[in-house]
Structure 1
Amino acid sequence: MIDARTLAEGLAKALARAGMGAPEGLHRLTGGATMESWRFSSGGEDFVLRRAPSLEFMQDRPYGHATEAAVIRAARAAGVTAPEVVVELAPEDGIGSGFVMRALPGTPNPKEILAMEDPAGLLRQVARDLARIHSLRPGDVPGDVPVMDYRAAIADLRRQFEEAGGDRPIIALGLKWMEDNCPEPCEPVLNHGDYRMGNILAENSDLTGVLDWELAHFGDSHEDLAFGCMAVWRFHRYDRPALGLGSLADYFAAYEAESGRTVDRDRFRYWLVHRTVWWAMGCLRCARVWRDGSDRMLERVVISRRTSEQELDLLMLLEEDALTDGITPKERMSDDYLYFGEAQTGEIATAVSEWLATIKDRLEGHDRFQLAVARNALGILARQYAICPRVSDKELADDFLSGKRSMMTDPTIPRLRRDALDKLETDSPKYPALAVARALWSESTEVID
């Protein structure tokens, strides 16, 4: 983690190469699950630094920030409302990998964009820019921008699935469907790779910017068309299947008018399934990069829990009537459930979340965003323990109290020992007696049925 002073000093070196003054008011922007974004001023104008959280984070990527910057420049030259790149970071700057862009007007906030007065007009502009992106061919950008091999992409997702445990039946269904329905390759065009609500800027129903180009590659144009139409990127406008802005018919018509190409509905459906599986695996990867230390941001662990969203969406895509009668959901803790023991995990999470809410007004910028993410994380814990509450075994306790069962002879004692170890490991792992008990019971904690 680079401190703010070091970041400002390194950024000043990069800006000097572009004939610009040192940064002023450097601060972290909210959002950015993959890359960091820092806003600042120089010479009375506003700019944004986009950088990787670590150099290790860039190692497995197909290309670096220099190529990404070149792609953005090519898109801007093709008429896309892409930002102007002014300088790339260099190793001698000492602040990692990234580049500086001139700031654009507008908001990236999906809630604000989806509430604008003319969503249909904005959708036409979104379709226009996507068509212009797809006008670019391999000769227009650096040679290390990859061309997608559809079958290889499926195989890679399958490998990731197996490395993540291979234990998600719905994702397995999606992978098999993709293998059985993969379309034949078509003429590759430049795909933005992450063209969706959240990566566009808008102001007064006008498109003002297309952001986050690190996933750009060559492939089927339908992939970009489908990705933004996934349920997850419609946010609170599930009823508008085209980016939460309007109908698919209007989106396709605007795209076809600008591009001169006809949208193939079957290919669109394939890529809708493909990218849903892709994002499910992306959510799982967030937990992995947090665990291995390459990015310890709080968003990583929270996003990893969004895998469940994609599993639900995928199941509905593959089989709308999959949820038939006779499937009983896991029983939740009923409203009249009474628990009189120590505070449960969900209750602790709720208490911390409530306290965090009291300091919200003291924070600003990225810290305020992180607080919202933290409260979301605590909400996950609270909801999980509402479904799987930590309950006691009253029947067994009654039997012990009545003398019906004895500690000296009862076969449940090994299970009680194991449960006591597990419980204390969660509640107070530094408690001195824990290590003693673990050693004492190491040979006798096996559960006896």
Structure 2
Amino acid sequence: MEQENDLGPRLARAFDRRFGVGHAVERLERLSAGASRESYIFEVLAPKGGRQSLILKRDPPGAVHDEDDPDNRFGADRPAEAAIVAAAHAAGAHAPAMIFCADDDDGLGAAFVMEALEGETLPQKILRDPALAGARARLPAEMGAALARLHAVPRRELPRLRTFRLDDHLAAFRAILDGYGQPQPGFEYGLRWLEKHRPPDEPPVFAHGDFRMGNIIVDTQGLAGILDWEVGHLGDRHVDLAWPSVRAWRFGRDDRPFAGVGPRETFFEAYEAAGGAPIDPEIVRYWEVLGTLRWGVMCMTIGQRFTSGREASVEKAVIGRRVAETELDFLDLIDAL
């Protein structure tokens, strides 16, 4: 079994191969966030002096691609994710700078190294820390502008990505529900509602896929970074426009429907002002319903990992218990439309 204390020397050798002999890696620490990928923060010391904080992101050794997770059906592998992050950084979309993507000779597995951005990532602190009150007020507009720049990234700057349209989302949910083995009447009703009321397709753009509170970095000035690009794909822009407003990602601040920090309208206006195509709020609300179903199906499949004995994780069990809560959110949304 791979030992984590071997990572430091392997990382140092990977830097030596690319940037010259004499690098050292210190303060290597695994980050707690991220259940399906491993993330480590560390400092690299250059041969001629200088120190930089960086992030290693990689697939766990022996990782198995789980098609029961709806996000895995259109997500990117680590080399593609590295190329996505580099393209988004070049577009000014608050992505970290990419340092390198690992190859087989590095012995790091499917991995890449990027800069570590400073700031707060925990939603509870972002939404409640008095020191971040000014930043919270700026977030809806800053996130709208950043998303418009992200959606404008030219395809020629991106790696080969999967295209995942609305019908692909609906088909994925149908396949997962049909294969679950237990009735989920609320989700079944909601899926039929989504199939009946689907809006017209739009030309696909580059979509982050998981653009929400919990995947951003905030400092006292506002938005400092966007994280977790592994479900980047080509698809409908509304997947990103609606996902931050799904109730789960407000973290208890239902009085502020956009990401727990403000009104949707401020976010929409900033998106359009930064060059994003005009927004129809009713279409966004449809995708918010779809996003709530997506989160519910994710809770269901994550919980099944625990109940099946595949993963003895309290975190998985707790998330699995949220299925009924999400089912109610889903039905309440439909009832309000």
TM-score tier by shorter-chain length is: 0.7 to 0.9
Aligned equivalents of 1:146, 1:302: Cα separation in 2: 31
Other-structure match for 1:131: 148
Does residue 70 of structure 2 align to residue 63 of structure 1? no
Alignment of 1:415-434 (within 5 A): none
Alignment of 1:114-193 (within 5 A): 114-115=127-128, 116-118=132-134, 119-143=136-160, 145-193=161-209
Alignment of 1:32-71 (within 5 A): 32-43=34-45, 44-58=51-65, 61=72, 62-71=75-84
- Residue 163 of structure 1 aligns with an amino acid whose one-letter code is G
Q: TM-score, normalised by structure 1?
A: 0.67
Does residue 113 of structure 2 align to residue 97 of structure 1? no
Say if 1:183 and 1:122 are closer, same or farther in 2 by CA, change over 3 A. same
Alignment of 1:238-387 (within 5 A): 238-289=254-305, 298-320=314-336
Other-structure match for 2:48: none
8 Å CA contact 1:58–1:64 kept in 2: the answer is no
Any gaps of 5 or more consecutive residues in structure 2? 46-50
**Secondary structure, in 3 states, of the residue corresponding to 2:142?**
helix
* Structure 1 position 31, deviation (Å): 1.8
* Structure 1 position 152, deviation (Å): 2.5
Aligned equivalents of 1:264, 1:17: Cα separation in 2: 51
Aligned equivalents of 1:243, 1:205: Cα separation in 2: 18
Aligned equivalents of 2:221, 2:327: Cα separation in 1: 32
8 Å CA contact 2:31–2:41 kept in 1: the answer is yes
1:286-341 Cα offsets, whole Å, 9 max, x none, are 234557787665433332222233212101111259xxxxxxxxxxxxxxxxxxxx
- Residue 91 of structure 1 aligns with an amino acid whose one-letter code is D
Say if 1:231 and 1:283 are closer, same or farther in 2 by CA, change over 3 A. same
Any gaps of 5 or more consecutive residues in structure 1? 322-449
Q: TM-score, normalised by structure 2?
A: 0.88
* Structure 1 position 259, deviation (Å): 2.1
* Structure 1 position 241, deviation (Å): 0.5
Cα-Cα RMSD = 2.2
* Structure 1 position 249, deviation (Å): 1.3
Does residue 14 of structure 2 align to residue 14 of structure 1? yes
1:52-72 Cα offsets, whole Å, 9 max, x none, are 224433475553111100011
Deviates more, 1:210-219 or 1:27-36: 27-36
**Secondary structure, in 3 states, of the residue corresponding to 2:252?**
coil
**Secondary structure, in 3 states, of the residue corresponding to 1:49?**
strand
1:63-85 Cα offsets, whole Å, 9 max, x none, are 31111000111111111110111
**Secondary structure, in 3 states, of the residue corresponding to 1:182?**
coil
Alignment of 1:201-240 (within 5 A): 201-240=217-256
Report the structure, 1 or 2, having the larger strand content.
2
Say if 1:2 and 1:311 are closer, same or farther in 2 by CA, change over 3 A. farther
Alignment of 1:378-417 (within 5 A): none
8 Å CA contact 2:249–2:260 kept in 1: the answer is yes
Aligned equivalents of 2:298, 2:105: Cα separation in 1: 32
- Residue 3 of structure 2 aligns with an amino acid whose one-letter code is D
Aligned equivalents of 2:170, 2:327: Cα separation in 1: 17
- Residue 38 of structure 2 aligns with an amino acid whose one-letter code is E
Choose which of 24, 30, 42 in structure 1 pairs with 2:32: 30
1:70-103 Cα offsets, whole Å, 9 max, x none, are 0111111111110111122223333422211111
8 Å CA contact 1:16–1:22 kept in 2: the answer is no
Say if 1:39 and 1:86 are closer, same or farther in 2 by CA, change over 3 A. same
**Secondary structure, in 3 states, of the residue corresponding to 1:57?**
coil
Aligned equivalents of 1:241, 1:304: Cα separation in 2: 24
Aligned equivalents of 1:89, 1:300: Cα separation in 2: 30
Deviates more, 1:278-287 or 1:124-133: 278-287
Q: Identity over aligned residues, as a percent?
A: 36
Say if 1:76 and 1:304 are closer, same or farther in 2 by CA, change over 3 A. same
Other-structure match for 1:374: none
8 Å CA contact 1:33–1:299 kept in 2: the answer is no
8 Å CA contact 2:202–2:236 kept in 1: the answer is yes
Aligned equivalents of 1:130, 1:17: Cα separation in 2: 36
Say if 1:46 and 1:294 are closer, same or farther in 2 by CA, change over 3 A. farther
Other-structure match for 2:120: 107
Deviates more, 1:42-51 or 1:301-310: 301-310
- Residue 8 of structure 1 aligns with an amino acid whose one-letter code is G
Deviates more, 1:289-298 or 1:43-52: 289-298
* Structure 1 position 205, deviation (Å): 4.1
Larger Rg: 1
* Structure 1 position 192, deviation (Å): 0.5
**Secondary structure, in 3 states, of the residue corresponding to 2:55?**
strand
Aligned equivalents of 1:11, 1:112: Cα separation in 2: 32
Aligned equivalents of 1:158, 1:166: Cα separation in 2: 13
**Secondary structure, in 3 states, of the residue corresponding to 2:223?**
strand
8 Å CA contact 1:40–1:48 kept in 2: the answer is yes
8 Å CA contact 1:27–1:39 kept in 2: the answer is yes
8 Å CA contact 1:51–1:96 kept in 2: the answer is yes
Aligned equivalents of 1:292, 1:138: Cα separation in 2: 41
* Structure 1 position 17, deviation (Å): 3.0
